[in-house]
Amino acid sequence: MLGQGRYFCLMLKSILLIASLTAGQAMAETVFDDFSGDANARWDYVADGVMGGVSSGRAEIRGTGAGAVLRLTGAVSTDNNGGFIQVRRRFSDPWPSGAQGLDLRVRGNGETYYVFLKTPNLNRVWYSYRASFTAPANWTQVTLPFAEFTASHDAMPQSFAASEVTSLAIVAYGGDFDADVSVDRISLY
């Protein structure tokens, strides 16, 4: 029979082990997209031509399986009230309510790009929650906490819940420049 002190130590170790495993599960990443499978069917290219702008570009999935990469390229122009190209994924399966943000693995031409998130309660098609990142020449992991996403307009709700998000876009936006950004993984944390 175990002594009371030894029994207490074993119980404490068991509790700490269970707590650390539970904490590890809460922090585990959930892959949103790794661009494998039929990624072309999940992602849509959109440019400011839908609003009269003159930006042009393209989005493509390069490679297959674990080597698949989403690449957005083109010329962003603010002429004629334009200023964006994007690749967007709409979805209906809710993200976990406990998700705290996004991790992306990106590379590009050193320009600033954005992630735009949308929820169903936005009154205007141009409303979104936005966070920026720089895409350097070498593959880099970018972490974007949801708390750092800002509302694009004062007339919309100023915050959102992860479980409400129904659309994610990678966007070249807001200036006159040549866009070239690649993403090979998007995860929730």
Number of structural domains (the chain) is 1
Residue 63 has pLDDT above 80, yes or no: yes
Contacts of 179 (CB under 8 A, 6+ apart): 57, 72, 73, 74, 75, 76, 85, 108, 109, 111, 113, 172
Q: How many whole angstroms separate alpha carbon 85 and alpha carbon 49?
A: 9
Residue 7 inside a domain? The answer is no
Residue 184 inside a domain? The answer is yes
Residue 27 has pLDDT above 50, yes or no: no
Residue 10 inside a domain? The answer is no
Residue 155 inside a domain? The answer is yes
Residue 12 has pLDDT above 60, yes or no: no
The pLDDT score that the predictor gives to residue 3 is 52
Q: How many whole angstroms separate alpha carbon 84 and alpha carbon 21?
A: 44
CATH of the domain at 60: 2.60.120.430
